[in-house]
Structure 1
Amino acid sequence: MKEYVAVVDLGGQYTHLIARKVRELGVYSEVIPASRARDAMEDPAAKGIILSGSYRSVRSESRDWSILKEAKKPVLGICYGHQLIAHVLGGEVQEGVGEYGRVECRIARRTKLLAGVRRRTVVWMSHRDHVTRTPDGFTVDACTRSCKVAAMSCEKLQIYGVQFHPEVHHTREGRKILKNFLFRVCRCSGGWKPEDTIDHRVRQIKLTVGGERALCAVSGGVDSTTAALIARRAIGDNLRCILIDHGLMRKGERESILKSLSSLLGGIKVVEAQSRFLGRLKGVADPEEKRRVIGEEYAKVLQEAADEEGCSFLIQGTIYPDRVESGRGQASEASRIKTHHNVGGLPSWLKLKVVEPLADLYKDEVRKIAAKIGVPSEIIWRHPFPGPGLAVRVIGEVTPEKLHVCREASHIVEEELKKAKLYRKVWQAFAVVGDDKATGVKGDKRALGYIVTVRVVTSVDGMTADWAKLPHSLLDRISSRITGEIQQVTWVTYAITTKPPATIEPV
């Protein structure tokens, strides 16, 4: 029986960060909706429960949380979860002075949760409601200048609450606090590594697909490649791999994919679909409609290829962040941000049964598995590329001219990062083009050209991202090359918005 810690998603922006931090500490975690909290409490494999933050106020909470009154295993409440514990067990929560960002916290009692934490430490706060009175049997373990109950506990019941966010790296000793909960309180055995799950994933595909054939559309990225290789281990020659050339690929990508993967996967069939996709996209400017159209056409091509190859299953490289953005994560609090062409975009009429061997993993975990099963390093470290391709980097209607500008400019960005030995140090790097044009001077005469926006971000898992602080000399080279080598461009800008509030891709 595999041990795990359940992270109950109550609507907090850091829920998946909690789950990732737990996994980093060697314990498998699963994000679940509030409706499954009772199941987790009664599941012998669940070693503990973590209640996430939320945008709500517990003073308007209407769900049944009686399980906290009869908790059978350790519970840690974070932010809203901390307030929820107090509210349900007879304490008091009121609106007060908000705390946002780094705050000094004083540790009053070194409980099992706070063992080894300095008496004065820095934590990350994001709240306005406060616990003003703890439930009977609870002690106040930490406070800040504005928050009298920054941490509380009832060690007899093994229930702990912290108002701050230990999962955020700005909380200096947050890792230690989470580690204490996992190993001192929950007594997890630890040792979980994504690489150790390979055989289980192979068995699951083998059991699911049996002796039938499965189709896998590879994109040359680490997710689809890893999913295909695991499936090949499971069903051998019953796996049929295709590459859908929709005309929206990066410069030289088709040739690169075939060169890297054909021998690994026992051959890849190319489906020529450029005119189909570009034809369907003509006149479509709305971002979500663009993704829907691509998803629908993608599904049609898949079904046709599957019928031709006699396949009844579809192997996909969907990973956790894809499902979360599409609003299809297990936690019901997730809202749809974007429809991913192969997640929320697949129509109900598709006859193929979908198998997603990587759906519970984050990108960094997929990369560890990929390295273990022999995926070439150039594929492991290739920047994530969206399924709809350059269509989501072209704002407005996708036209041949804008597609050309986007493709060439993106190639320049990647090429310069590789020359500067920074390509592997960033998460994604590309160029964006829209309909806006600006006046410039080329060849001593006035020119009206496209504005190209360069987007380079750093991230660990794609759930959050920061803009990359590139050297000005590098940005200068990128700008000079784009305006010099692409006749239609007069201006180059650099995007400096984090995710959130932005997303990584503009469309």
Structure 2
Amino acid sequence: MDSILILDFGSQTTQLIARRIREIGVYTDIVPGDTPASELPLDGVKGLIFSGSPFSVYEKDAPGVDVKIYSLGLPVLGICYGFQRMTEDHGGKVSPLEKREFGRSRIEYRRSAPLFKNIPDGFTSWMSHGDSIEKPGEDFELIAQSEHHIAAAWNRDKQLYGIQFHPEVSHCEYGVEILRNYVLEICGADAAWSMEAYLEQVSAEIRKRVGKERVLLLISGGVDSTVVGGLLLQALPHEQVYLMYIDTGLMRKDESVEVERTLRSLGAKNLSIIHAEDEFLSALAGIDDPEEKRRIIGDLFITVQAREVEKLSIGDAFLAQGTLYTDMIESGKGVGKKAKVIKSHHNVRSPLVEAKREAGRIIEPLDRLYKDEVRRLGTTLGIGDQIIRRHPFPGPGLAVRILGEITPEKCAILREADSIFMDELKKRGLYDEIWQAFSVLLPVRSVGVTGDAREYGYVLALRAIISRDGMTADVYPFESKDLLEISSLITNSVREIGRVVYDISSKPPATIEWE
């Protein structure tokens, strides 16, 4: 099967490039950017892509590439840092910008090139860089210009392409078309990969690895863990699959009842519902640091799991998780050693989870997929739309949506307010237009007036974003009427909340969750 090989230099969007190409129908693999040319897995590879990076090419520890790769006879596309790496390797010059380029930037052509076939001049790209190409590499000709700097160059003879913007992010106009031109037209790859092919592949891998041993899945009832549950139940005999739901006291309103109903409908034979609210809230008492919250929750998940597994007498079962690639890369677990930590995820960097991983006892069949791909996989598995289209919910639950110390009272307040928010989105036909929406309880009180009384109530922040994959996100543009009415419903229904605000930050620079 034809494929494209991506060399990763630590970019937060490396897997996003791969996902875009898989959407085109061509399989992708990712290897560390410093892999020697002689060790690259080139069987079936039709072209190479150099990813971006958090580094600058002129920094001492900047990731490099084996220059022999340029002589393999394969087309190469360098994206952002990849373009800069290519420039330096061919005698060009990269310099820091006085004015950095982040976000939208208009692209004008200097010369026509196959990469921009059928792409209109003056399209809007998405930039994310603090360095610029001051002088192109030898035998490179400029083919596009941004509003301030060189945007693309081409070495015609060696089939080397460099672009300064990110075609992989959803906010880049014609980004997929540019990648399609590269993969199908320039590289000549055959589009033969599909989600059905992925399902067949990952199911075979699970059966081979697990054999006749048992597998335990800590399931939250959200999209990711539910899809993993469906996948395990399809790939393995039901008797081998154990589903365990731990009610941490940090769940949404009526979550536990809905979770049990859903799992029973999937035909699970071994299902344990563990009520551990007191245990989790006691461990979190007095803790306000978000990273410490995640660590405590991650460790306690495994501790409770170990205790309950012992009761089930299923031995040292494999532990399955609904970890996505976004979890891995934001935790610094991308391909290679150059990815940087944005935030820790309770199911990635927790020491006890790491120990399980080191022992080879963790199965993460979604760890190379993004959220929308997980939804497609769930549909392929036959899981209903009501579950598949559900908004993402973080593993630590309300713990990272209550800023500051967590208390049972705050959990109850946030649960009720968030339930009102979700119900209103559904009633108004907005829920499916939004990729993720939720409420955040802030650690401040604001003065207010109720009747003739002066009161200090909590401040609640509403968050609603539109995205395709969670790596970039825009704010959902509510009509003022909707926000005003939802705010009024919340403050009238939840006495402890005295003020509602709306978060209008995009990603980047903000993250989707507040902690």
Q: TM-score, normalised by structure 1?
A: 0.92
Tell me if structure 1 keeps the 8 A contact 2:4–2:29.
yes
Distance in 2 separating the partners of 1:215 and 1:301: 13
Indicate which of 344, 350, 368 corresponds to 1:339.
Answer: 344
Give, in whole Å, the separation in 1 of the partners of 2:498 and 2:468: 33
Structure 2 residue matching 1:360: 3-state secondary structure: coil
Partner residue in 2 for 1:191? 192
Contact 1:98 1:126 in 2 (8 A): no
Offset at residue 150 of structure 1 (A)? 3.6
Given that 2:249 and 2:281 are in contact with CA atoms closer than 8 Å, whether structure 1 keeps it comes out as yes
Structure 2 CA distance for partners of 1:164 and 1:389, relative to 1, 3 Å: closer
What CA distance in whole angstroms lies between the structure 1 residues aligned with 2:327 and 2:146? Answer: 38
Question: Aligned pair 1:300/2:272, yes or no?
Answer: no
Alpha-carbon offset, residue 131 of structure 1:
3.6
Deviation at 1:217, TM superposition (A): 1.6
> Could you say which residue in structure 2 is the equivalent of 1:286?
289
Instruction: Please show how residues 209-220 of structure 1 align to structure 2 within 5 Å.
Output: 209-220=210-221
Between the aligned partners of 2:87 and 2:467, the Cα distance in structure 1 is 35
Give the distance between the partners of 1:403 and 1:185, measured in 2 at CA. 54
- Matched to 2:268, the amino acid is G
Identity %: 39
Offset of residue 301 of structure 1: 1.3
Matched, 1:313 2:318: yes
Cα gap change, 1:144 to 1:202, in 2 (>3 Å): closer
Letter paired with 1:199: E
> What is the aligned counterpart of 2:510 among 478, 495, 502?
502
- Measured at CA, do residues 453 and 173 of structure 1 come closer, stay the same or move farther in structure 2, by a change above 3 Å? closer
Letter aligned with residue 219 of structure 1: S
Q: Give 1:420 deviation, angstroms.
A: 0.6
Deviates more, 1:343-352 or 1:426-435: 343-352
Per-residue Cα deviation, 1:9-47 (whole angstroms, up to 9, x for no partner): 334454444333222222233444323363674522332
Q: 1:264 aligns with which of 263, 266, 270?
A: 266
Task: Provide the rounded CA distance (Å) in 2 between the counterparts of 1:320 and 1:64.
Answer: 24
Distance between the aligned counterparts of 1:379 and 1:188, measured in 2? 35
Does residue 1:386 correspond to 2:403, yes or no?
Answer: no
Which structure ranks higher in relative contact order (CA pairs < 8 Å, sequence separation ≥ 6)?
2
Looking at structure 1, the residues matched to 293 and 119 of structure 2 have their Cα atoms a distance apart, in angstroms, of 50
Cα distance in structure 1, aligned partners of 2:37 and 2:499: 56
Q: CA deviation at 1:303?
A: 1.4
Taking the aligned partners of 1:371 and 1:349, their CA distance within structure 2 comes to 33
Cα gap change, 1:362 to 1:125, in 2 (>3 Å): closer
The answer to whether structure 1 residue 46 and structure 2 residue 45 are counterparts is yes
Contact 2:232 2:241 in 1 (8 A): yes
Contact 1:98 1:127 in 2 (8 A): no
Distance 1:216 1:241 in 2: 5
**Per-residue deviation at 1:169?**
5.0
After TM superposition, give the deviation of residue 99 of structure 1 in Å. Answer: 6.6
Corresponding residue for 2:384? 376
Contact kept? 1:8, 1:32, Cα under 8 Å? yes
- Contact 2:92–2:136 (Cα < 8 Å) also in 1: yes
Cα 1:277–1:143 change in 2 (3 A) is closer
SS in 1 for 2:221: coil
Q: Call closer, same or farther: CA 1:316–1:170 in 2, change over 3 Å.
A: closer
The 3 A distance-change label for structure 1 pair 503 and 141 is closer
- C-alpha contact (below 8 Å) 1:438/1:448 kept by paired residues: yes
Q: Does 1:464 align with 2:466?
A: no
Q: Which amino acid aligns with 1:430?
A: F
CA distance in 1, matches of 2:67, 2:387: 49
Residue 178 (structure 1) aligns with:
179
Per the TM alignment, residue 382 of structure 1 is displaced from its structure 2 partner at its CA by 1.2
Residue by residue over 1:457-476, the C-alpha shift from the partner in whole angstroms, topping out at 9 and shown as x without a partner, is 22211122222111222212
**Mapped contact 2:441–2:461 kept (Cα < 8 A):** yes
Match of residue 483 from structure 1: 491
Are 1:134 and 1:152, in contact at CA under 8 Å, matched by a contact in 2? yes
CA separation in 2, counterparts of 1:144 and 1:501? 21
Conserved in 1, the CA contact under 8 Å of 2:437 and 2:464? yes
Paired residue type of 1:388: P
CA distance in structure 2 between the partners assigned to 1:488 and 1:120 by the alignment: 51
Per-residue Cα deviation, 1:54-75 (whole angstroms, up to 9, x for no partner) = 3433233573532344334211
Q: Aligned residue for 2:257?
A: 255
Note if 1:277 corresponds to 2:280. yes
Contact 1:467 1:496 in 2 (8 A): yes
Displacement of 1:332 in angstroms is: 2.6
Name the SS for the 2:266 alignment partner.
helix
* Counterpart-to-counterpart distance in 1, 2:454 and 2:467: 40
Contact 1:395–1:433, Cα closer than 8 Å, also in 2: yes
2:360 maps to 1:357: no
CA contact (8 A) 2:10 2:334 kept: no
Residue 284 of structure 2 aligns to which amino acid in structure 1?
L
For residues 287 and 129 of structure 2, the distance between their equivalents in structure 1, rounded to whole angstroms, comes to 41
Q: Which moved more, 1:413-422 or 1:227-236?
A: 227-236
- Cα separation, 2, equivalents of 1:143 and 1:457: 31
**CA pair 483-349 structure 1, distance change in 2 beyond 3 A:** same
| Counterpart code for 2:302 | A
Quote the Cα distance in structure 2 between the aligned partners of 1:245 and 1:269: 11
Q: Is the 8 A contact 1:98 1:129 kept in 2?
A: no
Please give the alpha-carbon distance, in whole angstroms, between the structure 2 residues aligned to 1:349 and 1:12.
Answer: 26
SS of the aligned residue for 1:83 comes to helix
- Superposed CA RMSD in Å reads 2.5
Give the alignment of 1:77-476 within 5 angstroms.
Answer: 77-94=78-95, 98=99, 100=101, 102-118=104-120, 121-127=123-129, 129-143=131-145, 146-147=148-149, 150-168=151-169, 171-236=172-237, 237-267=239-269, 268-309=271-312, 310-311=314-315, 312-347=317-352, 348=354, 350=356, 353-476=361-484
TM-score by length of 2: 0.91
Q: Secondary structure at the match of 1:36?
A: coil
Give, as a single letter, the amino acid of the residue that structure 1 aligns with 2:384. Answer: P
Q: Which moved more, 1:216-225 or 1:42-51?
A: 42-51
SS in 2 for 1:152: strand
Instruction: Report how many aligned residue pairs link the two structures.
Output: 505
2:327, 2:348 within 8 Å by CA — same for their partners in 1?
Answer: yes
User: C-alpha displacement at 1:307, in angstroms?
Assistant: 2.6
Residue identity opposite 2:285 in structure 1: K
Report how far residue 154 of structure 1 moved: 2.6
* Cα offset, 1:104, TM superposition: 4.7
Once the two structures are overlaid, the 10-residue window that deviates more, 263-272 or 167-176, is 167-176
Question: How big is each residue's C-alpha offset from its partner over 1:66-120, in whole Å with a ceiling of 9 and x where there is no partner?
Answer: 2344334211112322222121123344456657355554434433323334455
Alpha-carbon distance in 2 for matches of 1:440, 1:506: 25
Unaligned residue ranges in structure 2 (runs of 5+): none
Asked whether the equivalents of residues 9 and 63 of structure 2 are also in contact (C-alpha less than 8 Å), the reply is no
